[in-house]
Chain A
Amino acid sequence: MAVGSCESIVLLYSQPRIPRSALQIRCSSSLASKQASSSSKIPSALQDFEAVIGVETHVQLGTATKAFCGCLSQYGAQPNSNVCPVCMGLPGALPVLNERVVDFAVKLGLALNCDLSLRSKFDRKQYFYADLPKGYQISQFDIPIARHGSIEVDLPVEYGGGHRKFGITRVHIEEDAGKLVHAGGGGRLSGSPYSLVTFFFSSCCFSLLVFVDLNRAGVPLLEIVSEPDMRTGIEAAEYAAEVARVVKCLGIGSGSMAEGSLRCDVNVSVRPRGQAAFGTKVEIKNMNSCAAMHRAIDFEILRQVALHKEGLESKIVQETRLWEEGSQRTVTMRAKEGLADYRYFPEPDLLELVLKQEQVDSINEALPELPNETRRRYEALGLSMQDVLVLADDKSVSEYFDSTLEQGADMKMAANWIMGDITAYLKTEKLSISDVKISPSVLAELVSLIKDGTISGKIGKEISDEAEIASLVDKVLLENPKQLEAFKKGKTKLQGFFEGQVMRSTNGRVNPILMKKVVAQKLGLS
């Protein structure tokens, strides 16, 4: 019965089109198809229930070297080329903490409005797995470097907009594990591997070989744990997108879910509206984009609510489920056999992590403008929320925009140019905004010329070279011999037809006055 309702739920969520953009438009617009906008209203089925969602994020730091040794931290290097006794866990090797990891951790803690622990420590999180050479992961257990923070997001306009503030429970430093490669493909899913051992067994029992690449072992991570403040898939997805924006803005990592430098796991439970006690928490892994997070969470909420409505809430068990991108649903890994016991104890090989207040203060003063601050500033300038969200999504775009404004350009026109034509150009040419050849000052000049009325808006992109127009007209006449024949025989109205065809062939970008003149010439009318 419950399965039946899940099938119908899947139909509601048939895969939306995901338009691409070289400007890495915020995750929300990747769902900005007509199908998605219908899910912005809460289905009536959900109104009696409230979903409680928490997100755990692992951020890979962009330091040159690993957390505890001088090996390079390098994506795509030949397997097992960036290794040493420390990160391979060979006997006698000792870890030494990378000072830049501390710097980045402080930056992120401050950007997330956290209380920093001026004294914190490292602990050993112990378990056995092929990609964990030491048999433990160096992490921070009970005294993390940062706690009690918050992050503010603006929900996409197409989902009703709105401002939210979500709590951050903690941020701590830890090291990444190596990579497993199976002969049958696959590897470790993001997050804790404890329950994944069983996954490998069930899905890869025909794989006799497991290969290990330790290049990634020891790469520094920051783990961010949110408060369970999110209530919908879009809220959680936007939280993740904002974390990625902050990471990129601070310059502490590439913050890309697609590349694996930003990994999110979510915890989802539902409870009848008004109930104080939380429902059973289900963990979801294997989401590779903000859009996937959105869909996975919304699916899981409906799955749990459906079970409640059938009186089958006992079937919701504490487990880890995987998001299947192909079938657009969550599926059970094997149910957890009790909680993992990591036998944490303080890492004896590392000193206490001590921060000096002066160090923290100077980092705080040097923080760049954060994405939320940029959005508030653009709102105050009078831009629409839709424009604000696009322009403030990527720091290099907002810097370009700010630069254009500094040169005196009209705000609304500069915004439209950047969001419209420049975005389209970058998309077709596959460039990023820093590559674009129109410098902010040139764009500002162009914008002011348009504003003065010196040139029309279309001129900026117009074809007005007569020789070029002539060859375009020739092409059109060649391609339409029947109409040319008819014109010569007296159907003079076809002049308009040829003009239209030339206009179409340039997507409206040709100077109309010049074009008409050339067409008339070529038709022998002048």
Chain B
Amino acid sequence: VKPPNVGELCEKARLSLTPDEAAEIGPQISRVVDWFGQLQEVELDNVDPAIRVGHEVESQRGLRRDEHLDFTEKDSMVASVGEKEGVFIKVPKILN
């Protein structure tokens, strides 16, 4: 596994780190990735690949009916939005 490109990761996650913080965090990220790397040692020859983690519970398909249900505290939720312009949510200008 390549060492992390902290600059790129910060760009993607929209985080700003000082050079010192970046230098410190790089090895920490590597250690976390390596720790997960222990999974590579598991024997998988006779195991079917799973699509995702978690076993299927027959009775629960995890679906809901297509029925309208409003959030009970909708008004206070919308009212608690930082900045509004009438009914719209106001956000800062989009920069590249």
Q: Which residues of B contact A (CB under 8 A)?
A: 12, 14, 51-54, 56, 60-71, 74, 77-78, 81, 85, 87-96
Contact = CB atoms under 8 A, between A and B. Distances in A.
A207 interface: yes
Contacts of A128: 14
Interface stretch (A41-49, A81-89, A239-247, A408-416): A81-89
Interface stretch (A346-354, A449-457, A505-513): A346-354
A78 B86 CA distance: 11
A213 interface: yes
B69 A70 contact: yes
A434 interface: no
A419 interface: no
Contacts of A70: 64, 67-70
A254 B55 CA distance: 37
A211 to B, nearest CB: 4
Interface in A190-218: 197-198, 200-201, 207-214
Contacts of B52: 121, 346, 352
A83 B70 CA distance: 8
A84 B64 CA distance: 16
A120 B69 CA distance: 27
Given A119-B51, A352-B56, A198 B87 contact: no
Contacts of B90: 209-212
A405 interface: no
Contacts of A354: 56, 61
B78 to A, nearest CB: 6
Contact of B71 (A64, A85, A130): A85
Interface string A67-108: 001111000001111011100101000001111111000000
Contact of A201 (B12, B70, B95): B95
Given A80-B87, A352-B52, 15 more contacts: A63-B66, A71-B68, A80-B88, A84-B77, A98-B66, A99-B64, A120-B51, A129-B94, A197-B96, A201-B95, A208-B93, A210-B92, A212-B91, A346-B52, A346-B53
The 9 A-B pairs of least Cβ separation, nearest first, read: A70-B69, A211-B88, A351-B62, A84-B71, A100-B66, A99-B63, A212-B89, A79-B87, A96-B64
A96 B51 contact: no
A65 B77 contact: no
Contact of B66 (A99, A119, A120): A99
Interface residues of A, number: 52
Nearest to A129: B94
A334 to B, nearest CB: 9
B67 A65 contact: yes
B68 A102 contact: no
Given A84-B71, A84-B74, A85-B77, A96 B95 contact: no
A143 B64 contact: no
A198 B96 contact: yes
B62 A83 contact: no
B89 A351 contact: no
A181 B85 CA distance: 11
A343 B91 contact: no
B80 to A, nearest CB: 10
7 contacts: A64-B68, A98-B63, A120-B51, A197-B96, A211-B85, A211-B89, A214-B89
A429 interface: no
A126 B14 CA distance: 12
Contacts of B60: 351
A358 interface: no
Contacts of B66: 63-65, 98-101
Nearest to A347: B52
